Chains A and B, each alone.
Chain A
Amino acid sequence: MLYAMLGLLKKEFLALLRDKKSRFVLIGPPLIQLLVFGYAATYDLNRVPIAIYNEDSGSASRELIARFTGAKAFREVGRITRQSDIAEFINPKKALLVLHIGREFSRDLSKRKSASIQLIVDGRNSNTALITLNYAQTILADFNRTWAEQQRLAKPPARLEIRAWFNPNLNSQWFIVPGIVGLLTLVVTMLVTALSVAREREQGTFDQLLVTPFTPLEILIGKALPGVLIGLIESSFIVLMAVYWFHVPFVGDVAALYLGIVLFVVSTVGVGLMISSLATTQQQGLLGAFLFIVPSIILSGFATPIANMPEAMQTLTLLIPLRYFLVIVRGVMLEGIPLSLLSDQYWPMAVIGFATLGLAAWMFRRRLY
């Protein structure tokens, strides 16, 4: 029986890797995507185009402008001389931000009154707008502090001292790249599993498999093992790349991460096989794969926090293995959360894996058309 099982496994691997294009799809694109996404997926802003509208002639305004244009976050794209020009820069997206310094700026400052500046920001992407204003606020706070020291103004009654734990420079790559481990592992395991039973059903070879002495459990193992192995290999590789190429810190325990990886891969393989065994054509399998992958990534907390979602959506996220895995991979890598504190993340994935694999095996025999 063991010998027959080996034969079955060999057939499953061959079905997956025999086609040169199929082999390439499993290895090439995930690697390219890791490199591209690792750099692309960031909320940090660089070289934000800024236009300057300065009506003031004093030296203080020039100094303030120099702080803006000299900052790494900003890039000057032009000077404006009329109010109406602001729209000329913002509307066609030539500038994201316009810094407007009014006529009274230097006069107010010299009288020791509070001067004001106006920042006009393109809100079409409101997150980018908020981050841009945040950068501007930081630059202005620096300016104010230096100015107060130079002019011997009264000190403010209190000052903010903000520190960020686990990620002191608020480098969003540290947050996103561990997330990509989960994303690409999810996509690859779905690629391997979601179409596999559907293809055999469409070609009629699945019926042949069912009349062999193999039990549904053995067929299930044969179908699941390639996905599990490929998922494990690819995720290990991506973790290595995250640490050695993207220099994301790894402060936690490798065992805690691997328990998470194994459970995550098994549960997504389960979902993939369940979709595949429900589908009668490959097109349906593909549709099912998308209907799982797309919401998984959106609702997992990969790009946008789960805490911002409405209650009903937050409940829905409980069904998504990626959600748990992201907590594990980020927690282990950045914060060093030990295995014992992660059990709330491990067991839901185990339950999902068990349920979906069981359902897939059950569907093998029930669905014969």
Chain B
Amino acid sequence: MNAEQSVSPDPSARRLRLSGLLRKEFLQIRRDPSSIAIAFLLPIVLLIIFGYGVSLDAKHERVGLVAENPGPETADFFSGLQRSEYFQPVTFSDQRAAQKALDRRQISAIVRLRSDFSRQALNGQSAPIDVVVDGVDANTARLVSGYLQGVWAGWLQRRVDERAGASTQAVLMQQRIWFNPAVRSRDYLVPGLIAVIMTLTGALLTAMVVAREWDRGTLEALMATPVSVGEVLIGKLVPYYLLGMGGMALSIGMAIFLFEVPLRGSLWVLFVTGSLFLLAALGMGLLISIIAQNQFVAGQVAIITTYLPAFILSGFIFDIDSMPVAVQSFTYLIAARYFVAILQTVFLAGDVWAVIVPNALALALMALVFLLLAARRMPRRLG
């Protein structure tokens, strides 16, 4: 029997059926509190762990200093390092001791001034400053060597100023970092995290709900009633949308008040785009749930397809433009990608429509595709 043929055209009956479905779904949410935990507890726990745990600001990096022939010149150079907030210098008496510390991960770089440093520097002979960085963590190594270059350039400039000598650097660089002049990595990581966390919540909330009805056989009972596929989907979607938006509001509130990320754009843009994103995430969860047909597989698929892709391919931490083109094409399938771009822009730069509109359209399209696919694949009869 095709359920749709038997749907009565009476709108009041339709409303009655829908409210019954919604009531049932809300009761189920209340009975197994894990849904509420997913919507509210998960964002809180994850945002706190993420917000405090994820930082790319290499500050107070421990560097080993070796001066083979200490004197006023070497002290002058090292003073720049000692003043920098990026470094926490540790002095070693010789290179071998410093290397041992590097091997044991006690320091992440060594700056060594050879015994003839002072003589060469005073004679303008370009004394070599030997720097060794631990390259295992390439990103930190690069940041550390960048900071060291800054210290070196500052030292050169200071000498020019103090001794009224000629500058040896033909071109100097002035840098302006827009939107985040203090370069706080948390300011861009926390907005991005909201997208990652909402991906999890959205999929987790819905991935189990249809699969559970398969496992328990209640879907068959539902098929025997006059409810239509659309009504079942709406009945599943509305409660979890409300829960999800609650979680989203909580996350955004925490970003602003706990992590003090500036919000330069408007809240209503976050609300509209957040709704679109949540619909896409819920739609994906429903689709997983319908295709898997049992909770075990649905849970496995949800783990595999949500967290790691949203973490690695959304541009939240790794720059999408720098990925190989073939890999970039994968990122278009990740809803979080569009939401991360919107969140980072709305939080840090403001309502830049050139970023918001195309990404919001992409989210709307993804939500539509997932929900339509879910409606099509929703079983209407026993196979």
Contact = CB atoms under 8 A, between A and B. Distances in A.
Do chains A and B stick together as partners? yes
Interface of A: 19, 21-22, 25-26, 29-30, 33, 36-37, 39-49, 64, 90-93, 96, 105, 109, 112-131, 133-134, 136-137, 140-141, 143-144, 147-148, 151, 153-168, 170-172, 174-175, 183, 187, 190-191, 194-195, 199, 202-203, 281-287, 289-291, 293-295, 297-299, 303-305, 307-310, 312-313, 316, 330-331, 334-335
B355 A153 contact: no
A109 B345 contact: no
Contact of B323 (A25, A40, A137, A161): A40
B173 A286 contact: no
Contacts of A284: 32, 34
Contacts of A194: 299
Given A93-B355, A127-B56, A160-B148, A286 B208 contact: yes
Secondary structure class of chain A's binding surface, majority of residues: helix
B141 A167 contact: yes
A92 B352 contact: yes
B10 interface: no
Contact of A165 (B102, B148, B348): B102
A292 to B, nearest CB: 11
Interface string B96-123: 0000001000001000000001001110
Interface string B287-302: 0000010111101111
Given A29-B305, A42-B322, A303-B317, A157 B159 contact: yes
A297 B307 CA distance: 10
A123 B208 contact: no
A299 B137 CA distance: 15
A318 B189 CA distance: 23
Contact of A117 (B171, B180, B313): B171
A25 B345 contact: no
A221 B216 CA distance: 29
Contact of A37 (B58, B152, B308, B324): B308
A285 B300 CA distance: 11
A159 B168 CA distance: 11
Contacts of B85: none
Q: Which 10 A-B pairs have the closest CB atoms?
A: A164-B135, A167-B135, A92-B354, A123-B180, A172-B138, A156-B168, A134-B146, A123-B177, A43-B139, A157-B121
B125 A155 contact: yes
A305 B58 contact: yes
